[in-house]
A and B are shown apart, each in its own frame.
Chain A
Amino acid sequence: MASTMKYVRVPPNSASLAEARQRVFEFFKTACRSIPSIMEIYTLDDVTSPSQLRSVISSEIRKNAHITNPKVIDMLLFKGTEELCNIVEHSKQRHHILGQYVLNREDRTHDIGNKDQGASDFLKSFYKSNY
C-alpha cells in the first residue's frame, strides 16, 4: 500500500526558492489527492470532510510560509512527506489523526482566560511549538 502512493523522494537540493516553491505545491497536491484514501483508512467520514482536511494541510504549510532558505524548505518537505507516508500506510492510528489534524484546530491560547493574565511570552508560545 505504501508503494502505491508515490515515489516521492525529496532530492536533497532545491536550486532556488522558485524550485522549492514548486516542490511545496507538488507536495500539497499529493497530499490532497491522498485525502480520500486517508478518510477511508481511518473512517473519518463523520468527524470531518475532505475540504476541512485540505485546509488543515494548507494551514500547516502556511505556518512555515515565512521561510526563505531553500535547504530549510527541503527539510520541511522531507518531514512533511515522511508524515504523509506514515499516515497513508496506516502506521498511525485514528486517535493520532484526530488529535493532530482534526480536533482543536483553533488557537489553543484562546482559552487562557483570566487566570493567566500575568503569563510570560514563553508560556503564551508554549502551546504553539517547541521553539
Chain B
Amino acid sequence: MASFTASSVSFSAVSCSFKQNKVSSLGKGSLSFSGNGSPSRRLPALRFRVSCAAKPETVNKVVDIVRKQLALPADRDVSGESKFATLGADSLDTVEIVMGLEEEFGISVEEESAQSITTVQDAADLIEKLLEKK
C-alpha cells in the first residue's frame, strides 16, 4: 500500500495504469492516485481482498492439462482435491505436469515450490500466486 502512495500515478500513463488495473482487480489493498497535487483518494470499490482460493478457470485449465498428460478418460473425475498420486501419476509425471503448466501459463516454478505440489488445488494456487507476482 505504501509504495502506491509514494509514486504519483496519472491515468494518462498507459503502462502504469495497466499495472494498477491488474493489481486492483485482485484486490491487493487500496489504490491511491494523485493528479497535479490533489490529495490522494481511496477508491472504496477496489479495497476488497480476494481470498486465497484460485480462480475456477485456472483450476479448469490445470485439470485439462493433468487429464491430457495422464491420458485419463473423460469419466474419471478430476477435481481440485484430487492428488496426483491417486490419479496414477508417478513423480516424473508430476514434474512433467508442472512443466506443462509452466509453459501454459508462462510462469517459472522454483524447486521448493514444485516439491510441495500434491493436489490439483495446490498447483492452481501456486499458479495464481506466480501470476500475481508478475
Q: Which residues of B contact A21 (CB under 8 A)?
A: 91
Contact assessment for B99 and A61 in the assembled complex, using a CB-CB cutoff below 8 Å? no
Interface size class of A (residues with CB under 8 A): 10 to 19
Query: Taking the complex as formed, is A76 at the interface, i.e. its CB lies under 8 A from any CB of chain B?
Result: no
How many residues of B are counted as interface, with CB atoms below 8 angstroms from the partner's CB atoms?
10
Contact of B95 among A29, A55, A65 (CB under 8 A): A29
Contact assessment for A32 and B99 in the assembled complex, using a CB-CB cutoff below 8 Å? yes
Within 8 A of A (CB), among B37-96: 68, 91-93, 95-96
Within 8 A of B (CB), among A23-56: 24-25, 28-29, 32-33, 50-51, 54-55
Q: Which residues of A contact B99 (CB under 8 A)?
A: 28-29, 32-33, 54
Query: Taking the complex as formed, is B100 at the interface, i.e. its CB lies under 8 A from any CB of chain A?
Result: yes
Distance of A24 Cα from B95 Cα, bound (Å): 10
Contact assessment for B91 and A28 in the assembled complex, using a CB-CB cutoff below 8 Å? no
CB distance from B113 to the nearest CB of A (A): 13
Contact of B100 among A33, A54, A61, A62 (CB under 8 A): A54
Contact residues of A: prevailing secondary structure: helix
Give the nearest-CB partner of A36 in chain B.
B103
Distance of A24 Cα from B92 Cα, bound (Å): 9
Q: Return the CB mask of A2-36 against B: 1 if under 8 Å, else 0.
A: 00000000000000000001001100110011000
Name 20 A/B residue pairs within 8 A (Cβ), A-sorted: A21-B91, A24-B92, A25-B91, A25-B92, A28-B92, A28-B95, A28-B99, A29-B95, A32-B96, A32-B99, A32-B102, A32-B103, A33-B99, A33-B102, A50-B103, A51-B100, A51-B103, A54-B99, A55-B96, A58-B96
Residues of B participating in the A interface, judged by any CB pair closer than 8 Å: 68, 91-93, 95-96, 99-100, 102-103
Residues of A participating in the B interface, judged by any CB pair closer than 8 Å: 21, 24-25, 28-29, 32-33, 50-51, 54-55, 58, 61-62, 65
Closest 9 CB pairs of A and B: A32-B99, A25-B95, A58-B96, A58-B92, A28-B95, A50-B103, A54-B96, A54-B99, A61-B92
